[in-house]
Structures are given as C-alpha cells and as structure tokens.
Amino acid sequence: MNFSRWRNNSQQLKGKRNVEEYQNVVLQKVEATFKPNPPNFPAAFFFGDSSFDTGNNKYILTFAKANHFPYGRDFPGDPQISDKDVLKGANFASAGSGFDDVTSAVTNTIPIARQLELFKVYLGRLRKVAGEEEASRIVGSGLVLISAGTNDFLINFYDLPSRRLEFSIGEYQDFVLKKVESALKELYKLGGRLFAVAGLPPIGCIPLQITLHHSFDRTCVEEENADSVAYNVKLQKLLLKLQQTLPGSKFVYMNSYDALSEILNNPSKYGKPLNLHAVSTVGFEETKRGCCGTGLTEVGPLCNFLTPTCQDASSFVFYDAVHPSEKVYRLATDYILEHVIPT
C-alpha cells in the first residue's frame, strides 16, 4: 500500500463505567489482529470513536450502536474477560464520541474525558492482577492508540452546527486540539509513553457528507477536506511539541487523510479479496456510497436487518454512509503495523 506520507507527515471495562455512571461497559481483550510478527508491545489501549469501538456502546443507551444486523455479520459474539486478558490491554472507545464533551452529549456516548476515567478504573484492576511494578511496565511499554475528532466536526460544526455559532473553523480546531493535548498529557501522567494518534480523514468524501452537500454530482466537499488538512497540520505540530516536552514519550501521527485518499483516488489498485466469501478480486468498485441500503444516508440505526446490502462489501470503500468497509480497515491496519507503529 503506497501511503508514503502516512507517517512522514510528521474489550472493554466489564461491570463498571465510572463506579456510578458506567456500570455496563465491558472490558474485552485486545483481539489478535496483528500479523505473525507484530511489534513487541505487551498491551494495547484504544481510545476514540467508532473507528476503534468494538462494542462498548452496546451497554449504554444511545442510537450510536452497531450491535445489530448487518453490522458484525462475520464476527462472533462478545468475548469474556479474564485476569489474563487484562494484562493485554483494553478498549475504551465509544462510537459517536469525540474530544468535545458536547459531541457525546448529543449522541449520549462516552467522551474521551470519560474514557480516561474508565482507564483509571482499569489501572486499578491491572495493579491487583499484576502488581504495581508490572502494571507500570505494561502501561509504559504498551501502545496507546487514539482515533477521534471526526464526530466533533460532523456533529458540532458541519451537520448540527452548534459550535459554529461560537467559533470559526480555525478557532474550533484549536479548541478541539486543546482537548487532544489535555487527554494525551493525562495519559502520559497515568503512565503511557508510546502513542499513535490518528488525524482526520477526508471528511468531505464521506458518503453522508456528499449526500448532504453534493447530492447531484456526488463529488467530495472540498471545503471540508481542506479543513481536515488544516487540522492535521496543527495536530502534527502538537504531537511534535509533546514529544519534545514529555520525557521518554514517543508520538506517532497516523495519516488517515492520505490513507483514505489513496484508496479513493486509486480504487482499482486494491483487489486482494479479504476471504473466500469475497466475490470481487479486481479492487474497489464503489467509492461514493456505502454497501448498506442506498449507501447515501444509512448509518447506525438506519442500517438494519430490513436494509438490503450489497452482494460483496469488499468491493465498496464504505460499508455504510460514514464508515469504511472491513477491507479498508484491514489494508490500513496492515500498513500501520508494518510502517507506522513505534518500536
């Protein structure tokens, strides 16, 4: 995968949310999605939105769920957590969430700030299982992955413009990045040292955004894409500053923008089928709509067991009107593990 600028541009807590408020979030083990020779991290910790959420939202009252058909049709049910699994890390991500608390207030999901509180609860269990010294080693040499921010701009600025009444786009970017900085510093304070942080994708090429703004010609919303680029430049500068000021830290920028743009601009290059069930072997054939329903607006509850789906999801860049297909995630994951993740 020729994402040459990806790097160079610089499950879940079972039984508790916060002891009182998050009582049904499940701590699951980190799934073995790594290649045969993965980087040697003892654990991985995931924070963010639907790009990382493996099912946390199933246990809270929100419409931002994917625990229904046709989502997850190729995967088994929830794994159970054991003390051994706790040693491998945990996933705290919540679909529909963001760095801005207002984002999660709209969707009733778990914002990044609350995810950090869950992490503190997890650390308490880890210390009981592994002991103080080993727990510190696991967290300090484990990999912290964060992917969030897209919902902040979609929900609060572009589609439900509550924040647009308060900020210009540049001001809101700076506001969100202050939240990013605060979250990363808190994770560092809690023992994290190795961080991989994703930038924004080309938001204007998400099928839902195309439908809302360019429904006739089905072209990307270039203004929103330009905003994503500007935000990502600022994010990279922030990560460099943090690495220079936080002793022993290492920050890697995951260039989601160029990664997805590469696929959208050269869809026929990626023809390797995911599995024996895949029909297409010629690459992506559809880049402007999702596999679910019409592919124009269906996402979350609008993509359900009554909604028809395409014959071969691996020929679609997007599974629904917002989220990439499994094939895109697999391509991206392989590239991240090989070229981006810090060692």
- The CATH number of the domain holding residue 103 is 3.40.50
Residue 180 within a domain: yes
Active-site entry in 10, 50, 104, 315: 50
316 vs 274: which has the higher pLDDT: 316
Give the pLDDT band (50/70/90) at residue 9.
very low
Find the domain containing 84 and state its range: 39-257
Residue 339 within a domain: no
Residue 25 within a domain: no
The answer to whether 85 is a known catalytic residue is: no
Residue 16 within a domain: no
Mean pLDDT of the chain: 81
Residue 273 within a domain: no
Q: Look at residue 203 in the predicted model and tell me its pLDDT.
A: 96
Q: C-alpha angle with apex 65: 13 to 24, nearest 5 degrees?
A: 30
Active-site entry in 100, 228, 323, 325: 323
Active-site entry in 152, 280, 320, 325: 320
The answer to whether 323 is a known catalytic residue is: yes
The answer to whether 320 is a known catalytic residue is: yes
The pLDDT of residue 339 is above 90? no
Averaged pLDDT, 32-49: 69
Number of folded domains that form the chain: 1
Residue 236 within a domain: yes
Residue 233 within a domain: yes
